[in-house]
Amino acid sequence: MSGKSINSTVDIKARKAFTYYLLKDIETLDQMLKNNLFPDDIIRIGAEQELAITDDKMKPTCKALEILDNIDSELFTTELSQFNLEINLEPQILKAGVFNQLHKNLKSHLKHLQDKSKSFNVHFPLVGILPTIERADFDIKNITPYQRYIVLNDILKKTKNKSFEVRISGVDELKMELDSILAESGNTSFQIHLQLKPGEYKEKYNWAQMISGPVLAACTNSSLLLGRELWSETRIALFQQTVDSRNSVYLLREQRPRVTFGHDWVHDCVSEIFKNDISHYPLLITAEVDEDSSEALSKGKPPRMKALAMHNGNLYKWNRLCYGVSEGKPHMRIENRYIPTGPTLIDEVANVAFWIGLMSGMPEEYKDLPNLMGFKAARQNFYKAAKHGLNIQFEWFGKQISAKSLLLKELLPMAEKGLKSYGIPDEEIATYLDIVKQRVQKNKTGSQWMSKNYSRLKKHFTKRRTAYFLTHQMLKNQQKDIPVHQWRNININKKPCKITDFTVSDVMTTDLVVVHQNDPILILQHLMDWNNLHQILVENNEHQLKGIVALQDIKQVDSSSKQSRSVKTIMQTDVKTINPDVELVKAKEMMEKYKISALPVITDGKLVGIVNAEHFKQFSIDA
């Protein structure tokens, strides 16, 4: 979908026309399924590699359109934000050598991208959510200026009728309100496509739902967001909440979210998925459709079903069933959307091999899932895995089993059997499944490595610096294509850092102890004692900096008046400040020039942080 002919549903005539073609597509699909019009010859797999773009400081940078202008290939395309792009990999026949070829193609395409991007000084870290991403990156100005994205944002915002709220609780807690869907662009995934055999559509889609929790537990790679440790796979929560268009009326009616795991097993025919979707999700956008699918089928042509594809494309299921046409033949495929980007290319291919093997190795006794296990248990398994990774118990056909036991004793052998059924050689199977096995045995996913090293580093560095070092080290490991279970912890060497490499925002403290200008002086002494401070910043109701109070200022006040007098009566109002984007060396020069020990950091008139002499005693890192 190019995005150049996308319209909102306000146009009544266009809405009616689009609905007509959508219903025609469903009618035609039912006819094709009933009459077995899907060929049973070749099974293909495919993948989509989503990437974040960063500058040398590992911060997101909006260079996608410039980079794509420099690449003459339709395999590379845009995403919602200008600091993301996507590589659509060539479909491959599921046969011997397919995973080695996928690995080779990934390396080739990423190298081509890097070669064509050299002049832009950018990097492409493989991670589900960049540790360095900040709230300011979710500004609507960073949206890719194509009609598809702009219309989608406008419609979801209008439907929501208020700001988008993100609230995620894990080890830490995050709550923020946003005026657009741009936070969705904080997520990058490695989406896998598997073409299905006719006659197995219902069973295989249900099975894909069933195995989602265990597969995700072994693949998590996004435990951090905005300096907070949240879910093991925070992408799941972030994506669902940033594209949630439901308002209070829809919630009262139990309207379904557009990002969803699903609500029930498929019971009769896979077309019921699309029928349920049309029943429960109103049209978001429309487009001109130039084909009547029933007429195309009557002429012996495989219909494109453009209306169905568009409606389906605006529902973001973690396992999405898709209709398509490849080399002139129709097919049905499952799009696995829950696996994150990274941590390395070989890890991604290992994830593909594991999932494809499991899908291919579905045991005969598990085919009738609706009568074997409740759907709610499968959904709970998925969200437990997203929250806690490998450290959980799954409900698995009436029994409780640890994630490790299930993966190692049942699912990995099942995947191996499934791959062998397609003629994948033992050596190729071992190369990739052993990576998953080692990851599980060592409890060392990308998220686990990230969280462990984040906890270690933040004892010595600010959140921004910690995020930089994490992302930089991930990039170095990625360039060597070292699977994550072999990654070492980051070594901290206590040497002075190169101050010229960083800005104030990289090191400033944002967890501030402040007082209001109308607070009594009495509270100052307590706050300083409790927090080992020698000075405290003073602000007003709008979080604007009004002054600063030093310990010596308090000592000059008579004890009897500390309760009655306000902080504003003793604060120093001539306060030197600095912007977060200024080079850190400039802050040091200012502090030396004015003989001060700290500089409040101001942006848009608001107090956002402080930088002090301690921030210059940073450490360098050798990994």
The secondary structure of 151-178, three-state, reads HHHHHHHHHHCCCEEEEEECCCEEEEEE
Q: Which fold has domain 504-622?
A: CBS-domain (3.10.580)
Q: What is the pLDDT of residue 2?
A: 35
The position carrying tokens 């949206």 is 143
Contacts of 440 by beta carbon, 8 Å cutoff, 6+ apart = 218, 390, 403, 404, 407, 408, 412
Is residue 509 helix, strand or coil? strand
- Beta pairing, strands 76-78 & 92-93: unpaired
Give the model confidence (pLDDT) of 389-438 as tens digits: 999 999 999 999 999 999 999 999 999 999 999 999 999 999 999 999 99
Asked whether the bond before 363 is cis by omega within 30 degrees of 0, the reply is no
Angle at 489 between CA 191 and CA 106, to 5 degrees: 25
* Rounded alpha-carbon distances, angstroms, from residue 179 to 38, 60, 134, 143: 44, 19, 15, 12
Task: Compute the Cα dihedral for 98, 104, 107, 113 and give only its sign.
Answer: negative
Q: What is the pLDDT of residue 257?
A: 81
Q: What is the pLDDT of residue 623?
A: 40
Task: Compute the Cα dihedral for 415, 421, 422, 426 and give only its sign.
Answer: positive
Please state the pTM of the whole predicted model. 0.86
CA-based nearest residue to 289, from 606, 616, 21, 521: 21
Q: Tell me the mean pLDDT per 10 residues along the chain, length 623.
A: 50 87 96 94 95 96 97 95 97 97 98 97 98 94 94 84 87 91 95 96 97 98 96 96 62 65 94 93 84 94 95 92 94 98 98 98 96 97 98 96 98 98 98 98 98 90 86 96 96 64 82 92 91 90 91 89 92 93 89 91 89 73 44
- Sequence ranges of the domains in the chain: 6-363+377-441, 504-622
Whether 224 contacts 129, CB under 8 Å: yes
Is residue 395 helix, strand or coil? strand
Q: Would you state the CATH architecture of domain 6-363+377-441?
A: 2-Layer Sandwich (3.30)
